[in-house]
């Protein structure tokens, strides 16, 4: 049975772990040939071995434009073209804004924002040539709802949303460009917090759907944006947060307690 991405070729940056790994598995499972680009090339190779033939594992740091361009060009050459780019690679940190060094701030922007630009710039010629190109950039809810200690990361993700919209405008109609903004998702980056039952309970208590997300659910959103079902969607930021951005933190707890009386 044909998959929705049969005949497609994709590059997924940061594809060896977390959300990127889930995206790579989803696209491969739906028929695409996938190049996993990651600084952890060994982990990418292990995933490719699990996925089976026809896929690639390539080592590259997205902050290095030459490395990333070489990896994308190699994938396009091996696959005979490129139709999908998922800019997922990212890194984070947490400390007061004034405590970041210049190098730390610059590195966070280089990976989380400039790296997205590097990927788009390198992939666009291949995507345009395919006549059906799609880019999905992984942003985050911190782009619009900042969190303490993550100033550079939040600024970079806000930049990703803006960059997505500009690219969508410039590269239409041959290439669609969208972003996804995950909320709290269970990955190795959040494992230390989620392993604490009290902290996890407090986090989930503030999410309307009552739980943290799964990387596969974000991958489903990415797959939708890459698919023909989203053929008339470009420049959109799809929020995948279980509704956590909906409650007003000024009054929600009070009103929740008041309304609970009606359930008695």
pTM for this predicted structure = 0.92
Residue 14: which CATH number? 3.40.50.720
Name, in order, each residue with C-beta under 8 angstroms of 225's C-beta and a sequence gap of 6 or more: 134, 136, 176, 178, 180, 233, 236, 238
Counted domains in the chain: 1
Establish if 2 belongs to a structural domain: no
Q: Which two tokens stand for residue 245?
A: 């951005």
Residue 232: domain span: 9-263
Q: What are the tens digits of pLDDT across the range 188-247?
A: 777 777 888 888 888 888 889 999 999 999 999 999 999 999 999 999 999 999 999 888
Q: What is the pLDDT of residues 23-55, one digit of tens each?
A: 999 999 999 999 999 999 999 999 999 998 899
Which residue out of 100, 153, 171, 184 is catalytically annotated?
153
Coil, helix or strand at residue 215: helix
The answer to whether 153 is a known catalytic residue is: yes
241 inside domain: yes
Query: Tens digit of pLDDT for each residue in 113-134?
Result: 999 999 999 999 999 999 999 9
In-domain check, residue 4: no
């Amino acid at each position: 049975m044909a998959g929705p991405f049969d005949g497609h070729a994709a590059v997924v940056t940061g594809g060896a772990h977390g959300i990127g790994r889930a995206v790579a598995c989803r696209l491969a499972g739906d028929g695409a040939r996938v190049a996993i680009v990651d600084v952890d090339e060994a982990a990418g190779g292990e995933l490719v071995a699990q996925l089976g033939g026809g896929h690639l594992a390539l080592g590259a740091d997205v902050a290095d434009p030459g490395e990333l361009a070489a990896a994308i060009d190699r994938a396009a050459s091996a696959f005979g073209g490129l139709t999908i780019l998922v800019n997922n690679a990212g890194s984070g940190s947490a400390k007061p804004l004034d405590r970041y060094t210049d190098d730390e701030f610059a590195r966070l922007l280089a990976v989380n924002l400039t790296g997205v630009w590097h990927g788009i710039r390198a992939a666009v010629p291949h995507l345009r040539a395919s006549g059906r190109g799609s880019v999905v950039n992984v942003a985050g809810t911190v782009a619009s709802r900042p969190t303490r200690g993550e100033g550079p990361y939040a600024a970079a993700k806000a930049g990703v949303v803006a960059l997505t919209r500009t690219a969508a405008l410039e590269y239409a109609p041959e290439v669609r460009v969208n972003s996804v903004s995950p909320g709290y998702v269970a990955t190795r980056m959040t494992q230390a917090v989620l392993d604490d039952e009290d902290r996890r309970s407090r986090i989930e208590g503030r999410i309307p759907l009552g739980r943290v997300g799964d990387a596969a659910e974000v991958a489903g959103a990415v797959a939708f944006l890459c698919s023909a079902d989203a053929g008339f969607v470009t420049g959109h930021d799809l929020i995948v947060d279980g509704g956590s951005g909906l409650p007003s933190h000024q009054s929600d707890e009070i009103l929740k307690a008041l309304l609970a009386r009606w359930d008695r």
